[in-house]
Structure 1
Amino acid sequence: MSAGAAMTGLPINHSINRRTLLASTAAAVLVGLTPAHARFLSGEVPWAPGAATPPEPATPGGWLFFTPDEARAVEAIVERLIPADELSPSGKDAGCAVFIDRQLAGPYGAAERLYMKPPFATNAAPEFGPQSPLSPAQQYRAGLKALDAWCKANRGGKSFADLSPTERDTVLTAMEKGEAKFEGFGARPLFNLVLQNTMEGFFADPLYGGNRDMVGWKLIGFPGARYDYRDFIDHVTDPYPLPPVGLQGRAGWTPGR
């Protein structure tokens, strides 16, 4: 009996040759594969459509989170943060307030994907994320209430939405600089939060309620969610000639156009 046969405990005429060894090893590997790996090797797609978290289109019509007074205030804010000009409509007309409303009514508003455990640092660097026990929805509710109270106390009993465009700009500037002192929620944190969400709404996919008619994308020449750029790879210095396409397509869109 050979040493190899003795180590395996097999008679010499049943010793494992190379072909048998490789075949048995391959079989063992296949048995140990996950279903996804097995489907991949068999040529099948190793995942199911919609198994991830697909984007959900914004619900049309009405307000899902804001009260009517809150909605008026937010529309007035976004209209001044992105005023209409010869290049684009205002943030209000682009749907930024609708975008914010739908976000606050969903997982973002409830801070479902944010770490919300204390302690909260008072002077933390931006990379540490929000330092507040309040969810975004709670911050908006408290902040808009504080804004309304401050305006009525300092602007002749008027709410923010009732101010003239010039007066609104003055209030927003005071909020940005921290000169306006709100009760219950800081003026500067509210300004920064609404500004960030307004920019997101202006440039996000129209699926989420903002960027109506893809005005933000048209402004910067962004092509959107097109799946194929092979015809333009060698023309990087030329303006992109096709209109943008969203995740849900666009009116009059056909693949390749």
Structure 2
Amino acid sequence: MIKIGVLIPEDYKLLSVAAILEVFEIANKFQIIKGLDKPFDITLLTLNNNVDHFFKAYNTNNIDNEKCYNLVLIPSFTTEDINKTIKLNSAYIPWLIKQNNAEAEIATFCTGAFLLAATGLLDGKVATTHVDACPAFAIAFPSVQLKPDKTVTQDGRLFTSGGATSTFHLLLYLLQIHCGKELAIKTAKIFAIDMDRHNQSYFSSFQPSKLHNDEIVASAQEKIENNYQDVATIEEMIRDIPSSRRNKLDDLNK
């Protein structure tokens, strides 16, 4: 049986944890229906043994426990200050390093990659995270080979995934590794997940660069951002900018 440890960190995203638990519970049920032993033993890992009432049915361990796991899962965070959140969860860092040294696989989902990267275990390795969090991740962890377009990455025993439904792609990938493709496909059908999506770049939010010295372009960007909801055409937005229509649009499209 594969021993899974699911971190329940500070500022965790409930949807992320729920998706992780649901996928492995479904996989267990499929195998039990076939008369087989369930493949996964799930434990929730906390700093203080306290978990929300949603998870009372699960075994819970404090990370002070010396138990080793085959697979450690780090969910996404819900936070507007990822650096503060990582500090709140800093006690997990030495524990994760110990689990890695004991040859555990470690998988992160969405912004959970920030906590794994804070351990240094991702230095020099390939990783991804939510596409909109990639700029902050790249600044915080320049030694990581960040792949913003990837849905899932694997580098040795370390796995990461992009945002939102990319969680399911990594979960299905882990199912396939540990239980075979048939079970992964059956589980994918339950959640209506296309297993063949490998790119997340088209889910990114458009963020035009302002790292330039062109005052006209900067003025146009500001007018568009502040007034887009009140006007119907580009011409209305930029009519006060001292440039021809063609030059204005050419500049904005650079």
- Common fold: TM-score over 0.5: no
Q: What TM-score range do you get, normalising by the shorter chain?
A: under 0.3
> Which structure would you say has the larger RCO, counting Cα contacts within 8 Å and 6 or more residues apart?
1
Give the TM-score taking structure 1 as reference length: 0.24
Larger Rg: 1
Please identify which structure carries the higher strand content: 2
